């Protein structure tokens, strides 16, 4: 009897301690599983603030999940909470994998978050990148690929991925072959080596959110548009004087046979890239340049089969009103004054003829 009472006491004590442990365990779970409203960036920092925090991808590669919160505190989103972008995080610690962040949740016209808004999303959707993404190409770039994820800065900030110096390298992550060619071009060397940030980068020619195929009529590099695109820099007098670039290239091209033909819609007439190239533009003195004297016959021969060295000897971008044009200047002057002489002689002839007619009419009237 006493043993039964003693066993019951031990069972009660065991049940009490079990209940206490269970209650404590539930308390710990509830403490760790914070609600959405309570989650702060410090919670995220617990894991993502560790430099060795990572995950293994299905292909075996390791992806770092570390976030530099000191750098984040200087970014455009420094005052925002992580959960404002990662809306699928509902508890701490969070469960993976997380959904891809949709920037348009805040950056749309009329948003209440106070986020900058414009037509850029619509432009992106109609661009070659946006259409590729909608067609199912998961490798096509989205906002984060160009602007960054956690470290977004104003384009004037050297840390920004859209800073003029960083744009070629940023685009080059996908367009590797083109970037390697651009790096050794006159534009690439000016930007990356000489730190002349006025020089053209990818977005200056292809635009930013409205990038289209070169075969698209509305593309900035379409055959009938590309010369105007080049002219945005090469017709800027202040820019040309600053870097000692010939200042009449655009105007002389417009007045040339090629320029006039292009203006009237000829798709086969030579434009700027036809002679100078696209991503591999080099000065004429460079032996690799398509406009180097040794390469001009081949360059001209693309449109004019059989072009010889003599064919390519003539001066290019000529202004007939300047003596530097050589014989063309004198021929132009000859025809200029010949035309004036003919016009003066014609007017004089008309005046003399009218005077004679007047005299004859007057004489007949007296008779």
pLDDT at 126 over 70: yes
Number of domains in the chain: 1
Q: How far apart are CA 361 and CA 355, in angstroms?
A: 10
Tokens of 234: 């090469």
Question: What is the rounded CA–CA span in Å between residue 39 and residue 85?
Answer: 13
For residue 329, being part of any structural domain is answered with yes
Locate 237 and state its tokens: 């007098």
pLDDT higher at 316 or 100: 100
In a domain, 334, yes or no: yes
Question: What value does the mean pLDDT take over residues 67-82?
Answer: 94
Residue with tokens 């984060």: 144
Count of other CB atoms within 10 angstroms of residue 307: 16
Does residue 338 belong to any structural domain of this protein?
A: yes
Highest mean pLDDT among 7-16, 50-59, 196-205, 348-357: 196-205
Q: What is the pLDDT of residue 37?
A: 58
Q: Which residues of 263-294 are buried (b: 16+ CB within 10 A; e: fewer)?
A: eeeeeebbbbbbbbbbbbbbeeeeeebbbeee
- Highest mean pLDDT range out of 61-65, 199-203, 319-323, 324-328? 199-203
Q: Does 332 map to a domain?
A: yes
**Could you tell me the pTM of the whole model?**
0.76
SS3 277: coil
Q: What tokens appear for 367 in the block?
A: 């008779």
Task: Determine, yes or no, domain membership for 298.
Answer: no
Q: Buried b / exposed e across 29-68, counting CB within 10 Å, b at 16+?
A: eeeeeeeeeebebebbeeebeeeeeeeeeeeeeeeeeebe
How many whole angstroms separate alpha carbon 130 and alpha carbon 169? 21
Quickly tell me which residue has 């160009």 as its tokens: 146
The whole-angstrom separation of Cα 273 and Cα 27 is 70
116 within some domain? no
**Residue showing tokens 């509902």:** 90
Residues 158-212: tens digit of each pLDDT: 999 999 999 999 999 999 999 999 999 999 999 999 999 999 999 999 999 999 9
pLDDT band at 156 (very low <50, low <70, confident <90, very high): very high
Quote the tokens at residue 361.
Answer: 């009419």
Q: Would 327 be classed as within a structural domain?
A: yes
Q: What pLDDT, in 10s, does the model give residues 108-121?
A: 888 877 788 778 88
Joined tokens for residue 82: 């992580």
Residue 29 pLDDT grade (very low, low, confident, very high; cuts 50, 70, 90) = very low
Mean pLDDT of the chain: 87
Residue 102 has pLDDT above 50, yes or no: yes
The pLDDT of residue 46 is: 93
pLDDT confidence bin for 362, thresholds 50/70/90: confident
- Share of residues in the chain with pLDDT > 70 (%): 89
Q: What is the pLDDT of residues 231-264, one digit of tens each?
A: 999 999 999 999 988 888 998 999 888 999 999 9
* Secondary structure class of 252 (helix, strand, coil): helix
343 within domain boundaries: yes
Q: Report which of 171, 169, 151, 168 is spatially closest to residue 159, judged by C-alpha positions.
A: 151
pLDDT (0 to 100) of residue 81: 92
Whether the bond into 156 is cis, omega within 30 of 0: no
Q: 282 by DSSP, 3-state: which?
A: coil
What is the domain range of residue 338? 321-356
d(CA 253, CA 71) in angstroms, rounded, equals 49
Place of tokens 């930007």: 191
Residue 33 has pLDDT above 60, yes or no: no
Q: Is the pLDDT of residue 367 over 70?
A: no
């Amino acid at each position: 009897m006493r043993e039964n009472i003693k066993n019951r006491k031990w069972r009660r004590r065991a049940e009490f301690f079990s209940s206490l442990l269970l209650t404590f365990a539930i308390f710990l779970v509830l403490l760790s599983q914070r609600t959405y409203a309570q989650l702060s960036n410090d919670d995220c920092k617990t894991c993502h603030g560790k430099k060795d925090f990572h995950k293994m991808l299905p292909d075996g590669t390791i992806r770092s999940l570390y976030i530099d919160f000191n750098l984040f505190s200087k970014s455009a989103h420094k005052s925002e909470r992580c959960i404002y972008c990662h809306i699928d995080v509902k508890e701490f610690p969070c469960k993976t994998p997380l959904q891809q962040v949709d920037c348009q949740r805040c950056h749309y016209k009329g948003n209440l978050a106070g986020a900058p808004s414009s037509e850029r999303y619509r432009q992106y959707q109609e661009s070659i990148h946006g259409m590729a993404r909608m067609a199912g190409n998961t490798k096509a770039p989205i906002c984060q690929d160009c602007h960054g994820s956690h470290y977004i800065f104003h384009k004037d900030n050297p840390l920004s991925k859209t800073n003029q110096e960083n744009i070629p390298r940023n685009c080059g992550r996908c367009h590797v072959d083109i970037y390697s060619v651009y790096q050794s071009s006159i534009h690439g060397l000016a930007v990356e080596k000489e730190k002349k940030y006025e020089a053209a980068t990818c977005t200056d020619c292809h635009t930013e959110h409205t990038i289209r195929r070169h075969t698209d009529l509305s593309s900035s590099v379409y055959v009938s548009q590309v010369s105007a695109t080049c002219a945005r820099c090469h017709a800027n007098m202040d820019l040309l004087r600053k870097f000692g670039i010939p200042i009449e290239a655009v105007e002389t091209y417009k007045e040339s046979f090629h320029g006039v033909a292009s203006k009237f819609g000829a798709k086969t007439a030579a434009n700027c890239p036809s002679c100078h190239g696209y991503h591999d533009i080099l000065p004429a003195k460079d032996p690799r340049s398509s406009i180097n004297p040794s390469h001009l016959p081949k360059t001209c021969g693309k449109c004019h089969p059989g072009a010889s060295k003599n064919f390519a000897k003539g001066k290019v971008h000529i202004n007939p009103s300047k003596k530097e044009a050589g014989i063309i200047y004198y021929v132009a002057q000859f025809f200029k004054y010949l035309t004036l002489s003919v016009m003066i002689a014609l007017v004089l002839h008309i005046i003399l003829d009218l005077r004679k007619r007047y005299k004859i009419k007057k004489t007949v009237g007296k008779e």
